[in-house]
Amino acid sequence: MDELLDNYIRFLATLTPAYFVELFWFYFVFEFVRYFLLEFIVLNLAKIRAVFNKPHKEDARRRLFMENPLVSILIPGKNEGKHLFKLVNSLGEQTYKNIEIIVVCDGSDDDTPIIGRSLEKAGLIDMFIRNEVRGGKASAANTALRFAKGKYIIHLDADCSYDNDAMEKILIPFFEDERVGGVGGNVSVRNYKESLVTTLQGVEYFNTITTGRTVTSYLGIYRIISGAFGAFRADVIDQLKGWDIGPGLDGDITVKIRKKGYKIKFAQDANCLTSVPNTFRKLIKQRLRWDKSLVRFRMRKHKDVLMPTASFKMLDFFSAFENIMYNVVLNFKWYVYLLIMLSFYRPLFLNIFITNILLYTATNFVKFIVYSLYREKAHASMSYFLIYLPCMVFYFGIYLRVVRTVAYIQELFFKKSYQDPWNPRKTSVHAKHLGI
């Protein structure tokens, strides 16, 4: 151990700035610049804008309540009956009251139909539609959409819960800028104390959603409105005739709205809590599905946004490019970095590995503490997560990277997403045939 430590200290002593960059270019060029420096600058700019924008935002809120438009809340899902009562109760607490709740049961084989019917009868939900045959998430959402009467549509997941001002907050951006076609809510982890994997996801959601989407929204390249909490202008979503077949339908519809020329905004103060997978095995299943959809939708279905066509839009291009670059390309580039280090710096590999871990961990600490200052509301104590932050480098840098790699390979070479049981086969075969 002493020898290892001596060896490492000697290694650090040899590091000149040029040598440091030579060995840790991956961290500096991609991680530090993109995920720390850029985010830090933008968060500050966003904060400044928020201060100047405050009167405008308050005016938007006032106009929302003056107009008081009907808002349709769509809750599609399969076997979600057990969550419905709690969800409907939390919706009853909302500060924005002019809502209609439409629940669609997508071929559930549990007590969902009984629960849904009784809630409908009790007047707690406005419409309960039971589809006897499962059609998939998109079809269930489209069923609800077809009967929605609201001027705005909010899509929720039944197993989530919402701050009592969440609906109000997610609607305000529509009144701030009439070119906004969709708004994504802020999703945090409810069960972050359940296990190590849920705690790590708690940190991850804070980084990628609360912080990450604030940044992309500011830059105008925000690209995914979560299915768990997303709001849309009804006329916009009607033009699109609803959602296409998933998985990844929430990212898909966001791109489609952007293509129509509308803006997409992120409402950091519209808070939603969700339960995340509580084992590493379950998380792998979820992430394989999510990561495959990146390839399927960004690189195949919507590859046109990257092409210099007549409808080319720079922001859409950057939105897709950034996504593909940082998630797919750099993911594989990391392996290149690993190979270079193993091939050309083999005697130093252990020291490089340790330094990388220390660099990422230090960055994680700084980011987590500093960025917490930019968050408006917190459902979890920041200090709870601090002791888990050293694990993040392994969780995010290795575990999720491997999962992502597998997903990309599966989708790029085998189009595995079309075999995902998340969607019924009867719809997937058509999607595959049509290449969507």
Partner 1 sequence: MKHIAEHKDNAESIIEHAGFSFLYIRNLSPIPVEEVQYHSAVIIEVKNYDFVRLMVSSIRANLSPDIYLKPIFLLKKDTYDDAVMDELADGSIKGLDELDLVVPTVERISTRVQDLTFTNSISFEAQIITKLITLLYTKEQKTVDPFPYVYSNIGYYYPLLSVNFQRTEETVALDILKIAEEEGILRSDYYDRVYLCSSCSSNHLSYREVCPKCSSSNTTPDDIVHHFPCGYVGPMQDFKNEIDDKLDCPKCNKRLKHIGVDYDKPSVIHDCNNCHHKFQDYHVNAKCLSCLSDKSVETLKPTEIKSYRLTKKGELAAIKGFVTTTKDIDEVIGTIKYDTFKTMLKYEIERLKQTEGQSNICAINISNSSQVYSKLGSDLQRGLLKDLVSVIRSNIRSSDVIAFESSSTIVMSMNAIPNKIAKKIIGEMVSLLNDLIKTSFEDLDVLFDTKVVALDYAKTHEAHLKELITDFS
As measured in angstroms, the least distance from the Cβ of 270 to partner 1 is: 26
CB of 362 to partner 1, least distance (A): 46
Asked whether position 138 contacts partner 1 by CB under 8 A, the answer is: yes
The distance of closest approach from Cβ of residue 148 to partner 1 in the complex, given in angstroms and rounded to an integer, is 11
Query: Does 247 interact with partner 1 (rule: CB under 8 A)?
Result: no
Binding of residue 434 to partner 1 (CB under 8 A): yes
Does position 242 interact with partner 1 (CB under 8 A)? The reply is yes
Considering the complex, what minimum distance in angstroms separates the CB of residue 159 from partner 1?
A: 22
Q: Does 120 bind partner 1 (CB under 8 A)?
A: yes
In angstroms, what is the minimal distance from the CB of 119 to partner 1? 12
Nearer to partner 1, 142 or 198 (CB): 142
Based on the shown chain and the rule CB under 8 A, indicate whether residue 260 belongs to the binding site for partner 1.
no
Which residues are CB-contacts of 287 (< 8 A; sequence separation ≥ 6)? Answer: 400, 403, 404, 407
DSSP state of 150: -
Burial of 204 (0-12, 13-18, 19+ CB in 10 A): middle
User: Binding residues for partner 1, how many (CB under 8 A)?
Assistant: 32
Instruction: Specify which residues 264 forms β-bridges with.
Output: 182
Q: How far is the CB of 301 from partner 1 (least distance, A)?
A: 12
Contacts 24+ apart (CB under 8 A), 327-330: 327/291, 327/294, 327/404, 328/294, 328/295, 328/299, 328/408, 330/30
Smallest CA-to-CA distance from 393 within 351, 362, 370, 368 is with 362
| Strand 161-162 versus strand 152-156 pairing type | unpaired
The minimum distance between CB 156 and partner 1, in angstroms, equals: 18
- The string of DSSP letters for 315-334 reads HHHHHHHHHHIIIIIHHHHH
Helix (H, G, I), strand (E, B) or coil at 306: helix
Token representation of residue 371: 């960025």
Return the residue of 112, 143, 199, 356 that touches partner 1, per CB under 8 A.
143
Residue 293's φ and ψ, nearest 5 degrees, are: -65, -25
Site string for partner 1, 370-399 (x = CB under 8 A): ------------------------------
Pick 98 or 327: Cβ nearer partner 1:
98
Identify the three-state secondary structure at position 369.
Answer: helix
**Pair 245, 427: CB distance under 8 Å:** yes
Q: Which one of residues 34, 57, 117, 287 is an interface residue with partner 1 (CB under 8 A)?
A: 117
Is the Cβ–Cβ distance between 258 and 184 less than 8 Å? no
In the numeric block, the tokens 């069923």 are attached to 143
Which of 198, 271, 356, 427 contacts partner 1 by CB under 8 A? Answer: 427
Least distance between partner 1 and beta carbon 244 (Å):
5
Chain positions 75 to 114 lying near partner 1, rule: CB under 8 A, are 107
CB-based contact 173:161 (threshold 8 Å) = no
Binding positions for partner 1, rule: CB under 8 A? 107, 117, 120-121, 127-136, 138-140, 142-143, 146-147, 241-245, 426-427, 430-431, 433-434
